[in-house]
Amino acid sequence: MSSEPGLIECRGAGFDLNGRPIVSGLDLSVPRGEILVLLGRSGSGKTTTLKLINRLLELTRGEIWFEGKRTSEWDPIRLRRRIGYVIQEIGLFPHLNVQRNVAMVPHLEGWERVRIRERVRELLHLVGLDPGQFAERYPHELSGGQRQRVGVARALAADPPALLMDEPFGALDPITRSEIQKEFQRLQKNLGKTVVLVTHDVQEALLVADRIGLMEGGKLVEIEKPDGFLRSGNPAVAAVLASLPDRSRREALP
């Protein structure tokens, strides 16, 4: 790993809710172009960490830096437009067609109409949706996998350097989920975004991650490359890996 500061830096970051620590002592550096997967059980602090990065929640303690500047010094709206956000529920606007959903942030940024239209077409092609077939459709006319692809396209619309992804494939059936995971890997090879992806699926983490961070009780208890994670002697990691079929574990090893 590079010794240069990461695009995203958490330094002693913490968040309390009603006096109870939800995330505490988080020290984390995410280099440019890395996919960091945060793995852990429900309630371990994964989603809270994402929301602290883009200031949907405000830190109780510590600092988070983005592009060399404390997030507390960013205008929150400007910060969020520099960080794409993809969630499991996708969050498409039901009253807007696909083209207008994808165009939302470029429109807010004041892009010219021609540029927006070209960007929407480019992104729909990128995520495997024919613009001629899908641009005018509404969310209710799409399958779950198609809506998820539109959600990814929308997050990429203004070409942000970073993406936060919260269980982005969790609501999909296994076959569609596998297809979208492979599509995501292809996109990342082409785009080289900095990604923090939250999941509780060990196999998904091993498939897409450059590094895996395991969260437990609001703390980061392990962070390793996938092969190191599989060989970790940390009891918390062993407990998580116990859910992984032996065959999948063997196939994941280099």
pLDDT band at 145 (very low <50, low <70, confident <90, very high): confident
Decide which of 239 and 174 is more confident.
239
Report pLDDT digits (tens) over 4-55. 678 999 999 999 999 999 999 999 999 999 999 999 999 999 999 999 999 9
Supply the pTM of this predicted model: 0.88
Which 8-state DSSP code applies to residue 170? T
Nearest to 39 by CA among 235, 204, 210, 232: 204
How many whole angstroms separate alpha carbon 183 and alpha carbon 177? 10
DSSP-assigned states of every residue in 203-238: HHHHHH-SEEEEEETTEEEEEE-HHHHHT---HHHH
Give CA separation, 175 vs 37, 170, 252, 253, in Å.
Answer: 21, 12, 19, 23
Q: Above 80 in pLDDT, residue 176? A: no
Alpha helices in 103-219 (DSSP H): 104-108, 113-126, 131-134, 144-156, 174-191, 202-208
Q: Above 70 in pLDDT, residue 250? A: no
pLDDT band at 168 (very low <50, low <70, confident <90, very high): confident
Q: Above 80 in pLDDT, residue 86? A: yes
What is the pLDDT at residue 254? Answer: 47
3-class SS of residue 246: helix
Q: Above 80 in pLDDT, residue 247? A: no
% pLDDT > 90, the chain: 72
Q: Give bridge partners of residue 15 from the DSSP assignment.
A: 23
How many whole angstroms separate alpha carbon 75 and alpha carbon 188? 28
User: What is the residue-averaged pLDDT of the chain?
Assistant: 90
Give CA separation, 248 vs 150, 170, 228, in Å.
Answer: 30, 19, 15
pLDDT band at 90 (very low <50, low <70, confident <90, very high): low
How many whole angstroms separate alpha carbon 198 and alpha carbon 184? 14
Domain annotation for the chain: domains and CATH numbers: 32-58+73-252 (3.40.50.300)
What is the pLDDT at residue 4? Answer: 66
What is the pLDDT at residue 2? Answer: 45
Which residues have C-beta within 8 Å of that of residue 18, sequence separation ≥ 6?
Answer: none
Amino acid at 134: F
| Sheet strand arrangement including 83-87 | 83-87, 162-166, 194-199, 35-39, 211-216, 219-224
Report pLDDT digits (tens) over 111-144. 999 999 999 999 999 888 999 999 999 999 998 8
Q: 């990461």: which residue's tokens?
A: 6
